[in-house]
Amino acid sequence: MLNCVKINRENIIKNLKRIRNMTPLICVVKDDAYGLGIENILPVLYNEGERYYAVAFFEEASEIRKMYEDVNIIILNYTEEEKLHEAVKDKIEVSVFSMLQLHRYIEILGDKIPELGIHIKFNTGMNRLGFDIEETPELCRIISENNLQVKSVFSHISNSENIENTEKQLEKFENITNLLKKHEINYGFRHISASPALFQYTGKYNFDFSRVGMAIYGLEPLSKDTGLEKCISIESKIINIKNVKKGEYISYGENNRLEKDTAVGIIPMGYAQGIQMQIENKGAYALINGKKAPVIGEVCMDMLLLDISGIENVNLLDSVVLLGKSGNEEITLRDISKWTSTIQDDIITKISKKIKRIITQGELWKK
């Protein structure tokens, strides 16, 4: 196996237990559990007693339902009309966030609409999805007339580290829930916090549940360090070594002329495997034998070139760490975020699904 993603089960469980001490949670496993594989992550969470999950799309919800019959599943994105009857049959809960969507669902399901578990999303300031507060009275009328089964009401914080704007969103959310109470609308629970708000406000705005994804997997949800356990390592292998003379070019184009004689190590990971081209000329490096191997040249579709000149005893098929620890050195998702000018979620969800994910028992990232 030339490339792999290793997932530390022990550290996921540590993060999960820490989060559970802060809030009841809905585990967010959308987009194939942040690229780690639902088939890998869900058994870990299920065996730890978690029974509420959130996904992005119906196909993910259906996959989970085939794995476990005794869990609740929320679809956070739009559920296509042709999937609604199946959602009712399989007890898959859907999010509703606009009048047009709600009217379509009522029209399609007819008398069966009360059987569909619905989570009503409100827009409190992100202006992406959700009913506006001005729509609440009409929404309440529709809920009552159609005997809708409202599992929860929720919203989403746009920037948890902007305290002033967060307070405004929370005030609006509370005003909305007061309106629902005034119109005698019954619902199961409220939730607004995701990982960033949970750690920024340490439980102040948890309401009944928090939706937590990235923090479970060790992705830092804030600009400051929250001390979460790191859970993901990405590794490759040296497939070739070239000794290239000063003045020669490497990789594509003519912008990568060597200023010194260089030992070049090639690994079989490129942009098709999820290595983002933004790392070029950003000081990015990999780790080999506990030493830094700078990225040089243009990122290729299936290969990456490394300067291994300063590393002794590099051999064919030696391990190369792209995320994780090697000796006393480490590369974190924050490091890669800096090199690529993107966020941690973007990095791990872009790692090709063709690269095998391996669950380990805890030997990675030990302190």
Residues that are catalytic: 30, 252
CA distance 324 to 365: 7
Q: Averaged over 248-261, what is the pLDDT?
A: 93
At 133, which amino acid appears?
Answer: I
Of 22-36, 202-216, 300-314, which range is least confident?
202-216
pLDDT score recorded for residue 202 = 82
Sketch out the chain's domains with CATH numbers: 9-212 (3.20.20.10), 232-331 (2.40.37.10)
99-109 and 136-145 helices, crossing angle to 10° = 10
Q: How confident is the model at residue 362 (pLDDT cuts 50, 70, 90)?
A: low
Is 128 annotated to bind ligand?
yes
C-alpha angle with apex 192: 186 to 196, nearest 5 degrees?
165
Ranges assigned E (strand) in 146-298 = 149-154, 189-191, 210-212, 232-237, 240-244, 262-267, 285-288, 291-296
pLDDT score recorded for residue 206 = 87
pLDDT tens, residue by residue, 124-172: 999 999 999 999 999 999 999 999 999 999 999 999 999 999 999 999 9
DSSP H helical ranges for 183-225:
195-201
Instruction: Give residue for tokens 């098709």.
Output: 272
pLDDT at 175 over 50: yes
CA distance 268 to 2: 7
CA distance 297 to 284: 11
At 315, which amino acid appears?
Answer: N
Average pLDDT, the chain: 96
Is 301 annotated to bind ligand?
yes
Q: How confident is the model at residue 364 (pLDDT cuts 50, 70, 90)?
A: very low
